[in-house]
């Protein structure tokens, strides 16, 4: 099925307006950024780029799409879009340049991390789908990274499918959670689609389906001899642990391996300590204890501080929904457009709220590195040369002006993805993306990874760009 109409109506009406005004093919630049720290933390982790690339590669208007558009009416029962415009859509070829931060990259408020340059209507039209695909996956990858940091060095398995917002929400969340550091997912379709390891145990209903708990464990051990991990809290957790141990001792199948037990309720710290003691005394020192039950980074951190003997963490609802912050406030704004003479004109949105005022220009981000950690990001306009040393004016606090020598290690965040509508980027595997994200997080100082009141990361505007932004703002006022 064509996804070309996966957009807001206003993208189509604006495309029609640009076409009717004769400016549809005027070159323009749009850029995506977000304003607020996700989960009140100190970073975000980029995800969703590959999903966006796949959409762009398949972006065509089918006959069914055009038939539907031709059926739309105005409030006076006239055709909303004339046949000539629909013919324009049918015959279009995608020609934009797209630059973006690779998936797994560290992101911070206000930095542009996707940039689209090309015909005005094409660049505009991509707004809704880009925000849909990248906002959600970036949010979930960020949540996963926080949860995995809390659990480290223990593995985290994503168990959230049943609590996700629909099929696409579940699939996207599984992908993003793996990018953020999870080792596996319970979602079989996501595992198949993305090459993610799949993991699972059994539910309480398995135990309740048999005449007693012991029989349920015996049958599961027979069914899955090399992957036997028993859910032990259906009736009484400690008794369940003892029964699991008895069953494990009785099994004579040489293929049998007692993987461990899962706890899904009660005081996980106290119960895990008791169960660990039972397992160790029985000689099952390598059998793991897995915990589920409405976990998030804060609860995992507290349980570890309380001495919980948990080896594997299964996290669902809080992870796949980003429960405490259900959306990333990413936005996509026009930042430059060519006039009738072909000259670039910077564009900015003004607002009484400073956070909603945008930055004009064809923007790129230079990230400075001291060899161990990232130091700062500076946003600059590619149309202007950079001085050395580069001075950067803090976005959050304009009184904070910093100077960066060209001798410092640095790299530009946005890399070429499409050129002239052709994909020029080699898509990494999801394992490569996950590894890149881990390395990125290692480059973030520990104080900036705190879950509460992290040390803020410096993001600034190159001094010349800051001055032009002020001038542009004054001009529009």
Q: Among residues 292, 320, 348, which one ends one of the domains?
A: 320
Q: Which residue has the higher pLDDT, 365 or 228?
A: 365
Q: Could you give the 3-state DSSP secondary structure of residue 134? A: helix
162 and 135, same structural domain? Answer: no
Note the pLDDT tens digit of each residue in 214-270: 999 999 999 988 888 999 999 999 999 999 999 999 998 889 999 999 999 999 999
421 and 304, same structural domain? Answer: no
pLDDT value of residue 132? 97
102 and 208, same structural domain? Answer: no
Inside any domain, residue 197: yes
411 and 292, same structural domain? Answer: no
Q: Is the pLDDT of residue 369 over 90?
A: yes
100 and 25, same structural domain? Answer: yes
Q: Among residues 303, 320, 337, which one ends one of the domains?
A: 320
Confidence of residue 313 (pLDDT cuts 50, 70, 90): very high
pLDDT value of residue 475? 60
Q: Among residues 320, 348, 372, which one ends one of the domains?
A: 320
Note the pLDDT tens digit of each residue in 203-216: 999 999 999 999 99
Closest CA to 173 of 162, 183, 184, 161: 161
Q: Could you give the 3-state DSSP secondary structure of residue 235? A: coil
Note the pLDDT tens digit of each residue in 126-154: 999 999 999 999 999 999 999 999 999 99
pLDDT value of residue 24? 97
* Mean pLDDT value across residues 13-26: 97
**pTM for the predicted model, two decimal places:** 0.95
Inside any domain, residue 268: yes
291 and 333, same structural domain? Answer: no
Inside any domain, residue 77: no
* Mean pLDDT value across residues 25-45: 96
pLDDT value of residue 214? 95
The chain-wide mean pLDDT, for the chain, equals 95
Confidence of residue 354 (pLDDT cuts 50, 70, 90): low
Q: Is the pLDDT of residue 473 over 60?
A: yes
- Hunting for tokens 């799949």 — which residue is that? 198
171 and 42, same structural domain? Answer: no
Residue 254 belongs to what domain range? 146-320
303 and 165, same structural domain? Answer: yes
Our count of domains for the chain comes to 2
Q: Residue 274 sits in a domain of what CATH number? A: 3.20.20.70
Q: Is the pLDDT of residue 474 over 70?
A: no
Rounding to the nearest 10 degrees, give the CA dihedral for residues 232, 237, 239, 240: 0
267 and 153, same structural domain? Answer: yes
438 and 352, same structural domain? Answer: yes
Inside any domain, residue 1: no
Confidence of residue 420 (pLDDT cuts 50, 70, 90): very high
Distance of CA 471 to the CA centre of its chain: 35
90 CB contacts (<8 Å, ≥6 apart)? 61, 66
pLDDT value of residue 375? 96
* Mean pLDDT value across residues 168-174: 96
pLDDT value of residue 227? 84
Confidence of residue 476 (pLDDT cuts 50, 70, 90): low
356 and 242, same structural domain? Answer: no
Inside any domain, residue 122: yes
Burial class (CB in 10 A: 0-12, 13-18, 19+), 274: middle
Q: Residue 414 sits in a domain of what CATH number? A: 3.20.140.10
Inside any domain, residue 71: no
Q: Which residue has the higher pLDDT, 156 or 477?
A: 156
299 and 159, same structural domain? Answer: yes
- Helix spans in 234-292 (H): 237-250, 268-281
Inside any domain, residue 85: no
pLDDT value of residue 254? 87
């Amino acid at each position: 099925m064509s996804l070309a109409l996966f957009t807001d109506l206003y993208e189509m009406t604006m495309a029609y307006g640009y076409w009717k005004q004769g400016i549809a093919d005027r070159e323009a630049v749009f850029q995506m950024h977000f304003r607020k720290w996700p989960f009140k933390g100190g970073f975000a982790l980029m995800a969703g780029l590959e999903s966006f690339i796949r959409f762009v590669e398949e972006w065509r208007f089918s006959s069914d799409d055009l038939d539907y558009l031709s059926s739309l009416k105005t409030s006076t029962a006239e055709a909303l879009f004339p046949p000539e415009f629909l013919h324009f859509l049918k015959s279009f070829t995608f020609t934009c340049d797209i630059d973006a931060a690779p998936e797994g990259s560290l992101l911070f408020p206000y930095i542009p991390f996707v940039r689209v340059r090309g015909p005005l209507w094409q660049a505009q039209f991509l707004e809704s789908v880009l925000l849909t695909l990248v906002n959600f996956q970036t949010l979930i990858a960020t949540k996963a990274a926080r949860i995995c940091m809390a659990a480290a060095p223990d593995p985290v398995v994503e168990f959230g499918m049943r609590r996700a917002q629909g099929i696409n929400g579940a699939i996207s969340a599984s992908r993003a959670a793996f990018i953020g550091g999870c080792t596996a997912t319970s979602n079989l379709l996501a595992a198949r689609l993305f090459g993610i390891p799949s993991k699972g145990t059994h539910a309480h209903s398995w135990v309740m389906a048999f005449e007693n708990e012991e029989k349920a464990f015996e049958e599961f051990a027979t069914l899955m001899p090399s992957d036997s991990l028993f859910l032990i809290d259906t009736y009484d957790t400690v008794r369940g642990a003892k029964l699991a141990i008895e069953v494990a001792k009785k099994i004579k199948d040489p293929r049998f391996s007692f993987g461990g037990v899962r706890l899904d309720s009660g005081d996980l710290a106290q119960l895990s300590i008791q169960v660990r003691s039972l397992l160790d005394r029985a000689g099952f020192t390598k059998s793991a204890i897995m915990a589920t039950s409405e976990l998030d980074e804060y609860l995992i951190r507290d349980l570890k501080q309380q001495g919980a003997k948990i080896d594997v963490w299964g996290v669902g609802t809080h992870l796949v929904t980003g429960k405490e912050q259900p959306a990333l406030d990413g936005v996509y704004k026009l930042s430059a457009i060519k006039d009738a003479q072909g000259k670039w004109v910077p564009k900015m949105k003004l607002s009484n709220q400073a956070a909603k005022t945008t930055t004009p220009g064809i923007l790129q981000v230079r990230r400075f590195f001291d060899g161990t950690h990232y130091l700062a990001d500076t946003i600059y306009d590619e149309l202007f040369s950079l001085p050395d040393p580069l001075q950067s004016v803090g976005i959050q606090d304009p009184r904070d002006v910093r100077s960066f020598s060209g001798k410092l290690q640095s790299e530009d965040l946005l890399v070429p993805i499409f050129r002239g509508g052709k994909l020029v980027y080699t898509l990494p595997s999801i394992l490569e993306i996950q590894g890149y994200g881990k390395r990125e997080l290692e480059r973030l100082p520990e104080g900036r990874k705190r879950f509460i009141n992290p040390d803020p990361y410096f993001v600034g505007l190159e001094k010349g760009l800051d001055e032009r932004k002020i001038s542009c703002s004054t001009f529009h006022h």
